[in-house]
């Protein structure tokens, strides 16, 4: 459009004197428009904003984790003796079995019986360490025909209710890969499951004496 006006202005320069002045005016306007266009194109381009979605998601996950820890710390502050009422040696896992996943070589969950050997207090919370080993035969070494390698481990806390000198069945889910949603490992040999309690809690019900039995 600008070049069309410029062409018309040039033609008017060769017309009558009156038309020549109009042509000069049009040429002046075209020059001003051209100059504005050049200046606008020379402005610095605004940088493309960097996506902060991953950072926001990571921050939200961290806040969620901190909130869970805050809740645990709050309960410990309200009942500081909960961590010492049941000795770690009085809690144990037995009858540990794995539940196979849908895909070959995968494990969906671990089933076990949790024993509370405390004669006085009810177990209300516990943390555990789960280790899954893949055991394969080693033909070159007859002294150690099987070699077991850890392919997965997991540390978590859980709530339960196991009265004194009793046991309860628990199920521990195998966490999937958060990025793909797939099983975190595939067994090539025979699984060996090791499940160990790492901490105990025996919170008393509000209104009952902290030193008394929790049944």
Answer yes or no: do 7 and 90 share one domain.
no
> Do residues 88 and 194 both lie within one domain?
yes
Task: List, in order, residues 6 or more apart from 5 with CB less than 8 Å away.
Answer: 26, 29, 30
Give the pLDDT of residue 85: 96
Nearest by Cα to 152 from 197, 114, 107: 107
Per the model's pLDDT, the better-predicted residue between 181 and 132 turns out to be: 132
| Residue with token string 């540390």 | 155
Q: Mark whether 99 and 174 lie in a shared domain.
A: yes
Full residue range of the structural domain in which residue 16 is found: 2-41
* Count of CB atoms situated within 10 Å of the CB of 51: 8
* Confidence check: pLDDT of 89 > 90: yes
Domain count, the chain: 2
100: left (phi over 0), alpha (psi -120 to 50) or beta: beta
Report the C-alpha gap between 137 and 198 in whole angstroms.
Answer: 31
Query: Tokens 């080993």 map to which residue?
Result: 133
Tell whether 172 is covered by a domain. yes
The answer to the question of residue 91 being in a domain is yes
CA-to-CA dists, residue 26 to 6, 14, 59, 69, 79, angstroms = 7, 14, 60, 75, 88
Same domain, 36 and 85: no
Domain membership of residue 163 (yes or no) is yes
Q: Is residue 59 part of a domain?
A: no
Please tell me the distance from the alpha carbon of residue 7 to that of residue 39, in angstroms, as a whole number: 23
pLDDT for residue 167: 98
Query: What's the mean pLDDT in 28-57?
Result: 56
Given a cut of 70, whether residue 1 has pLDDT beyond it is: no
So what's the pLDDT on residue 181? 86
pLDDT at 152: 96
Residue 189 lies in a domain: yes
pLDDT tens, residue by residue, 100-159:
999 999 999 999 999 999 999 999 999 999 999 999 988 766 676 889 999 999 999 999
Q: Which of 10-24, 123-137, 155-169 has the lowest mean pLDDT?
A: 10-24
Res 207 pLDDT > 60: no
Band of pLDDT at residue 37, cut at 50, 70 and 90: confident
In a domain, 214, yes or no: no
Does residue 112 sit in the same domain as residue 17? no
For the chain, what's the residue count? 215
Chain segment 48-65, per-residue pLDDT in tens: 444 444 444 545 544 555
- Mean residue pLDDT of the chain comes to 79
Give which of 146, 119, 113, 88 is closest to 213, Cα–Cα: 119
pTM of the full structure: 0.63
């Amino acid at each position: 459009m600008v070049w069309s006006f410029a062409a018309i202005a040039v033609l008017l320069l060769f017309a009558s004197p009156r038309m020549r002045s109009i042509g000069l005016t049009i040429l002046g306007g075209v020059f001003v428009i051209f100059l504005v266009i050049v200046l606008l194109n020379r402005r610095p381009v605004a940088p493309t904003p960097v996506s902060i979605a991953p950072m926001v998601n990571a921050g939200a996950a961290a806040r969620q984790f901190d909130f869970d820890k805050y809740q645990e710390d709050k309960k410990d502050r309200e009942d500081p003796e909960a961590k010492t009422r049941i000795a770690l040696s009085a809690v144990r896992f037995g009858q540990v079995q794995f539940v196979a996943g849908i895909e070959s070589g995968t494990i969906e969950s671990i089933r076990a019986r949790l024993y509370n050997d405390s004669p006085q207090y009810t177990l209300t919370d516990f943390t555990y360490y789960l280790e899954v080993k893949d055991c394969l035969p080693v033909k070159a070494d007859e002294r150690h025909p099987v070699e077991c390698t850890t392919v997965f481990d997991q540390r978590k806390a859980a709530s339960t209710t196991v009265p004194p000198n009793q046991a309860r069945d628990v199920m521990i889910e195998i966490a999937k890969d958060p990025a793909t949603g797939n099983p975190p490992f595939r067994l090539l040999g025979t699984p060996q499951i090791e499940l160990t309690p790492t901490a105990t809690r025996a919170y008393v019900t509000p209104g009952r004496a902290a030193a008394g039995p929790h049944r």
